[in-house]
Structure 1
Amino acid sequence: MSPAPVTVVGIGADGWPGLAPASQEALRAAEVIIGGPRQLDLLPADCPAERLPWPSPLRPAVPGLLAAHASRRVCVLASGDPMFFGIGRTLAETIGPDALHVLPHPSSVSYACARLGMPLEQAEVVSLVGRPLATLTAALHHNQRLLILSAGADTPARVASHLRAHGYGPSRMTVLEQLGAPTERRIDGTADAWHHAPGDALNVIAVTCHRAPGAPRLPLTPGLPDDAYEHDGQLTKRHVRAVTLATLAPAPGELLWDIGGGSGSIAVEWMRSHRTCRAVSVERDPARAARIIRNAEKLGVPGLRVVTGAAPAALAELDTPDAIFIGGGLTAPGVLDACWEALPPGGRLVANTVTLESEALLTGRYRRHGGELTRLAVAHAVPVGGFTGWRQAMPVTQWSVVKTGPQTEDAEEGPGRGRPWEGRKA
């Protein structure tokens, strides 16, 4: 007989009185109730179940704790809606959604929108629970409305400081504490003038973003200004970067390998394209690897993974990519072969170079695998005496291809021969 489903009950700051009858019944019938200490303390004495607080760290403990009580009726307490930045996701990934029976409560975000008269679909939700403060940076845009899930009592002050540091000091802030409880409280102000002492740890922060005059504007489209990055000259320049990102074509949830990361600009803007996009930047120079980490923090994608090492050896343990960008190290033995081998069918590969040696290498791969070979040339207007002229940047050769299948023995005959692996334009 399979074990009974685990019942997950959402509970709010209003505690037991705010629960629906079905949730109260499930908790009274449970033999084991697992939750955070604050949530367990909200239960009345007439819930006879054994109460177990989650250990720390939580996620690694979930499988063993549930297995130890598989023969008993188990309830898990969660804050608000368990499937919204809650324990429900961890449980579903651990034991499967079919093994769960979820009884949600209104989330703190739903309460916040109700109090503020804010349509939920118009707000971007940013969680700072267990996440670095730099996560907030990518969401900062003029007039954007944010709802921030707080990590504790000091989070509002840290958010205000972060907004000031990134040119968003005029932003309006509203802190909503203990939403749904009799002790609910609201605090209003601006990031520039935020002087309030830490209040209740259970809070949500609403922000209407306003950019200060002269503050940098960082759009969602690829091609951020070059001066947005700290670099030593090893930087894919803005216009070439925009074309490169468009060719890589990021989509939600996809993983990029950025080989020869330099300053990390390609990986950073890949991850900025969608909050679920992931990237690994491989850089052999430790100083540049550290610089990539700083750029990722500064530009709001602290989840960028940086591997310090030389390709192809540094690629051995990486997860399978959806796309690969090679911006450096093309002539290193084995790099192109390792990248091509790692790429699954349907995966994209884009490689840029400015040297004749690497260009010859890309031309050979273009003949073997197809795709598209492009020359990118950019010129900038500069003063010439009392006049203005064009200064040409070094042209960039770009090879892009979508992998469609295994290579055959007649690969050197070039694309367009009707073979099953024939490349497509990226």
Structure 2
Amino acid sequence: MAERKTLLIPSLLDDWFPLLQYAFTSEEWEPVLLTEDDPHLAELGLKYFHNELCYPVFLVAGQVLSALRSGRYDPARCGVLFGQAGDECRGSCGIRLLRRVLDRLGYGRVETLSLNVRGIDRGTGLPITAAMVRRCLAAAVWGDTLALLRNQTRPYEAVPGTAEALWRRWTEDLGQDLAGNRGLTRREILRRCREMAAEFRAVERVPREVQKVAIVGEIYTKYCHLGNWNLERYLAAEHCEIGVGGITWYALYYMDGHALKGSAPARRVYRLLASYLAEIQRDMLSILNQAGYHALPLLPELKRQAEGYAPLRVTVADGWLIAAEAVGWARLGYRKILCVQPFACLPGHIFGKGQYAALQRKLPGARLVSVDYDASTGEGTVLSRIRMLLDEELDPELL
């Protein structure tokens, strides 16, 4: 058997990629998560890409180029996985632009593989197999469970670092299950969720006054520390309990909207996958609730709650999901909400940021603060807006 090639995976989903990476392993590819965290990654990407593209594209390109320049990877036996949402996302053309840059810099033998379910760039698409989907589903559910458990345990832990250490240990253990294709039935996935919930529930706690802060917005800046400048770490250091929607909600939102598009067979596949994932998510939420934790409601209920807050037919970019998550977290007591976007994301500014003023008027008991991230934005500008939210006293009568 030929030696497997290295599949480089740029940062995107911090709490999920350590598990999701195993979905992309195959006889041909060995996945490697890129961890380059240099503050000049965006500058490196800007050097080779037009500055009218969005911030995430610069970061992804900078991370890939930094990894290849390090000499750790053989360009002749190396590939880059590039996610593409499709629709009106300008970042979806990033893989073609990256191909041109790699060729120009002498990395012509580095393969570029597209990860999408829309048939974009078919010649470079990473084949999606049943085994990949199976591992993805398990990794998504486990990643959601771990992220919610850690975020709601960390502010109250008696010994600092306990929740983070537990998260890392479980990530390693579950990664081994995924790598070995073990325990991926629905029953086994949920059994592991119960075990995780029991261990986090047993962490020693002390009573503390904390602020509950939710993060909503565009997928990259919401989930990736590069895109949001380590926002979760900053909020945790400020003794905040952080609310971030899990990736299963995003996946179900995507399938909900895209089941309205495409061919009849494609729509049927979306609906079947969505039905299966929704059933597992329902059981996952039941396990979390029984252990004393909480999360956003199931997507149908979350969507129902968004009626009157967002046009539910708008599925461009993160569409109505932003408004739905803001409403959902506010109802769970997370009255301070950071709405994060990358600068130059046109769909995000129109269909995401365009909702914030109306949302604020309709949620008088909450406070929404919009934060744009970009290579040209100063750290002080971003931190001042976050501090403005953290330091504000909200009217308790509007709860």
- TM (normalized to structure 2)? 0.25
Question: Which structure's residues are more often helix, by fraction?
Answer: 2
Question: Which structure's residues are more often strand, by fraction?
Answer: 1
Q: 1 or 2 for the larger relative contact order (CA 8 Å, sep ≥6)?
A: 2
Instruction: Select the structure of larger CA radius of gyration.
Output: 1
